[in-house]
Amino acid sequence: MPASDPAELLFLRRLISSLVQDLPVDSRCALDVRILQARSRDELWHVRSQLFGAISLQFGEHEARQRLQQLDAHWH
């Protein structure tokens, strides 16, 4: 799908949101805003480091790596 495909962006936003749904609200709030404001695959990719940081702080680096593998699969 092209990078500007609205259906693909919606799918990726939902996927990313599912990766952080169990984080505390205060940890998730800034991520939710960045996810919703992203207008391209590239912008969503740049949220990745924040995702890793938030997930690893709450659940550890191993869990963060496992969750982000689900996301990484859509960029390879």
27 lies in a domain? yes
12 lies in a domain? yes
Give the tens place of pLDDT for each residue, 16-61. Answer: 999 999 999 998 999 999 999 999 999 999 999 999 999 999 999 9
- The angle formed by the CA atoms of residues 4, 8 and 14, to the nearest 5 degrees, is 130
For the entire predicted model, the pTM comes to 0.86
1 lies in a domain? no
| Domain count for the chain | 1
Structural domain span for residue 15: 6-72
50 lies in a domain? yes
Asked whether the beta carbons of 68 and 52 are under 8 A apart, the reply is: yes
Closest to 22 (Cα-Cα) out of 62, 51, 65: 51
* 37 φ/ψ sector (left φ>0, alpha ψ -120 to 50, else beta): alpha
